């Protein structure tokens, strides 16, 4: 994290995680994922974009180790160690009986570390999301956006190699979502972290990521990959630029392509 160098351009990044021919079948006949191939490199900001039922959340759960693939391989460069993963869900998923600080303590606490030992890490993570003044607050005292920030701080606290985000801002209002999008990019710039971001918003995926993996449903699979060649840091100006509009159209076309593939199959 003390590394102040830039994230190397795509193509020159070290491999972090590789999924090869991953299938996931539910109940013997529902193909949630078919033949998923995905390589995640250090410093990537990847969006998984697709309609519901395309298996993007399943892919995330497989990477998180919450379920096991039916076949295929998921390989971590250097193996998966404690604290390598940070996860942010669609809901803030905070413990209501615990203060902000205690919530952010959780990943360390489950590894047997006392609050005093890791207070530095916790304050650092809360500072990263701009909540250092709220360490003693309870979740119910915070707004929806602030709760989500606590959730992000909790994911950051172990300085993970990969952060998984499952539609984290989908339930927030647009103004808050834009603000959190901006802040997330700032964080990424500071921390050089690797992110896989699940979303069903074309605009969000283009604004945030350098690679968009477009997925199609039934069976869940990768249908296209769009690279977003806009330089970081991206600011509010980028949102209104012609380049952004063009990239959104590209991603949108890819998404419609993914949905039509399914339509053709259904009508054939």
Which residues contact other proteins (rule: CB under 8 A)?
61, 64-66, 82, 85, 87, 89, 91, 93, 95-98, 106-107, 109-111, 138-140
Q: Are 46 and 209 in contact (CB under 8 A)?
A: yes
| C-beta closer to other proteins: residue 162 or 212 | 162
| C-beta closer to other proteins: residue 37 or 81 | 81
From the centroid of its chain, how far is CA 65? 15
DSSP string, 24-90: EEETTTEEEEEEEEEEEETT-EEEEE--TTSSHHHHHHHHHTSS--SEEEEEETT---TT-EEEE-S
| C-beta closer to other proteins: residue 31 or 84 | 84
Closest approach of Cβ 140 to other proteins, in Å?
Answer: 6
Pull the structure tokens for residue 105. 């303590």
| C-beta closer to other proteins: residue 28 or 96 | 96
Closest approach of Cβ 194 to other proteins, in Å?
Answer: 16
Specify the residue for token string 């994911």. Answer: 155
Closest approach of Cβ 71 to other proteins, in Å?
Answer: 22
Closest approach of Cβ 51 to other proteins, in Å?
Answer: 22
Pull the structure tokens for residue 133. 């003044």
| C-beta closer to other proteins: residue 162 or 222 | 162
DSSP string, 156-213: HTT--SEEEEESTTTTS-HHHHHHHHHHHHHHHHHH--EEEEEES-HHHHHHH-SEEE
Q: Cα–Cα distance between 180 and 168 in angstroms, integer?
A: 10
Closest approach of Cβ 99 to other proteins, in Å?
Answer: 9
Q: Render the burial of 54-71: b for 16+ CB within 10 Å, e for the rest.
A: bbbbbbbbbbeeeeebbe
| C-beta closer to other proteins: residue 7 or 196 | 196
| C-beta closer to other proteins: residue 52 or 240 | 52
Closest approach of Cβ 87 to other proteins, in Å?
Answer: 6
Q: Are 74 and 62 in contact (CB under 8 A)?
A: yes
Closest approach of Cβ 264 to other proteins, in Å?
Answer: 36
């Amino acid at each position: 994290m003390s590394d102040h160098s830039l994230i190397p351009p795509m193509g020159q990044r070290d491999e972090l995680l590789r999924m090869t021919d991953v299938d996931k079948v539910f109940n013997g006949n529902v193909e949630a994922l078919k033949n998923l191939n995905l390589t995640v490199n250090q410093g990537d900001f990847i969006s998984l974009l697709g309609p519901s039922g395309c298996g993007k959340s399943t892919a995330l759960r497989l990477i998180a180790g919450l379920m096991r693939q039916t076949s295929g391989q998921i390989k971590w460069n250097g193996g998966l160690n404690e604290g390598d993963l940070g996860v942010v869900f669609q809901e803030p998923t905070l413990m209501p009986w615990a203060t902000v600080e205690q919530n952010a303590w959780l990943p360390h606490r489950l590894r047997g570390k006392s609050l005093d030992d890791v207070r530095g890490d916790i304050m650092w993570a809360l500072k990263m999301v701009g909540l250092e003044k709220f360490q003693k607050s309870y979740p119910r005292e915070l707004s929806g956006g602030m709760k989500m920030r606590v959730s992000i701080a909790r994911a950051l606290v172990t300085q993970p190699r990969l952060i998984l985000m499952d539609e984290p801002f989908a339930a927030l209002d647009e103004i808050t979502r834009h603000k959190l999008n901006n802040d997330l990019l700032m964080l990424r710039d500071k921390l050089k972290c690797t992110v896989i971001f699940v979303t069903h918003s074309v605009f969000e995926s283009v604004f945030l990521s350098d690679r968009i993996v477009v997925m199609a449903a039934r069976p869940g699979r990768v249908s296209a990959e769009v690279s977003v060649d806009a330089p970081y840091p991206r600011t509010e100006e980028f949102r209104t630029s012609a380049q952004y509009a063009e990239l959104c159209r590209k991603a949108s076309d890819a998404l419609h392509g993914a949905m039509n593939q399914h339509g053709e199959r259904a009508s054939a």
